[in-house]
Structure 1
Amino acid sequence: MRIIPFLATVALLAACAPVSQKPDRVAEMEIKLTRLEQKQEDIEKDVERTNERIDRLTELISELRLEIERLKLKLITGVGDETPKAGKADKGEKGVAYTEKLPTTEKIPLPATGSLKEPQEKAEEEKEPEVEDAETAYKKAIELYSVKKLYEARDAFLNFIKKFPENKYTDNAFFWIGKIYQELGDLKRAEEIYKSLVDKCERGRLPDCNKLPDAYFQLMRINVDRGNVEEANRYYSILIDRFPTSDAAVRAREQKVLLGE
């Protein structure tokens, strides 16, 4: 009979042993969990700080990019000057540009014998590659715009204007730069470009101004988007009065109908 109490005691001790170890294991797991949570919190803070630094760097890069754009536009197109130069000064500048590009016949050395046809042919041969280069450069810029590489296209058009300031495609280059800024959401810069194109065309400083009606239309659109009805109507009137049969005038009339005006 003594064996039974002994066995009962042994069984009770065996059952109590694991129970005494469970709190220690739970406490150990809680400590590990707390450490993991702390590590996760520290990592999240590091990620947040890194993201803040990236955002700040992105802002700085954007500011630098905008400043570079302003300097490019001021250098190439003259947009951003505080006061426009007088018409006489413009003519003087234009005269200088022509002197640099095309020397007069007095400066062309004439051969001792032979007719004047030889230097003329030579001048024509030298002029033809320039036309081809201009067309190629313009085509490349258009291709960049067509695949929506807007920044690359903008730079290509700016370089075109710098290299060919008085080419038949120069007005087109101005227009597409303005259109690019519109698509980038910079309406102020787009408006400056369109106004610069209008000014150059009105002063006769560009050989071709087939994009002038489109520039007036886009100026109208910009002011419609701003809610500046009076200014929008002013550009609309100019477009309809001066270019009534142009595609831009047709679109302008449709725009007025859609707006219920």
Structure 2
Amino acid sequence: MKVCPVAVLLIPLTFSLLVGCATTKDVAHLQGQIGDLQQKVDILRGRVTSEMQQNWVNFETSLGELRQEIKILRANIEEDRDLLNKVANDLEALKKDYETKGSSLTKVKGEGVAAALPPSASTTLPKEEPKEDMEGAYQKAYSTFKKGDYPNALEQFGAFLSTYPHSEYADNAHYWIGECYHQQGDYERAIVAYEKVMKQYPKGDKVPSALLKQGFAFLDMGDRVNAKIIFNKVTKEYPRSPQAEIAAKKLKVLD
């Protein structure tokens, strides 16, 4: 069989064209796959960035709450120190008073006492509640609170206020009642208790903390609007206080 020279020449040319077409299709297919992969990478990068940003926000929120708890603990420590100082001073005053009265009584002997006092004096003298009893009752309730026994602490603070409604620790007792409710998730009652601190003792040292914690109670209820109102009030009314610093940080997170 005789092969045509022209046919022989056309075979390499046809093969080259076929190879060229196949190569072009492969390149186009690879480019399409690369484009798809790039798109997937971009989507994943966006998701990772979004998750990282959310995690960072959550981290800042948790860090802010941790700092708040540390400041509250420090405030509690300061309160314990002040209470111990008051107890020590009161005990010293009672000791001096006892010594003074004791020395005076030793000067009165036997019948002189009966002559100086009316017959019913021993039964008509007013009875005063010792101050150490009041402080002991308050300290007992506060110690119960610090142990995390909120139901019993709530009961003890309530009993304290019933017995000593006008004591110097009354505002503190109302504040810790609010904290007991707050820790138990009864946010509405906590808000009412904090309000009592502010209304009944407007010049008390617990007012800034009560106002701040009222904002947290609203926030824990999911009421961001009222929480922001309260936090703004803290920053305006007590601008240089630790409570204002905490409120300002919460406002940044809520905005």
TM-score by length of structure 1 reads: 0.46
| Greater fraction of residues in helix | 2
Bigger radius of gyration, 1 or 2? 2
TM-score by length of structure 2 reads: 0.47
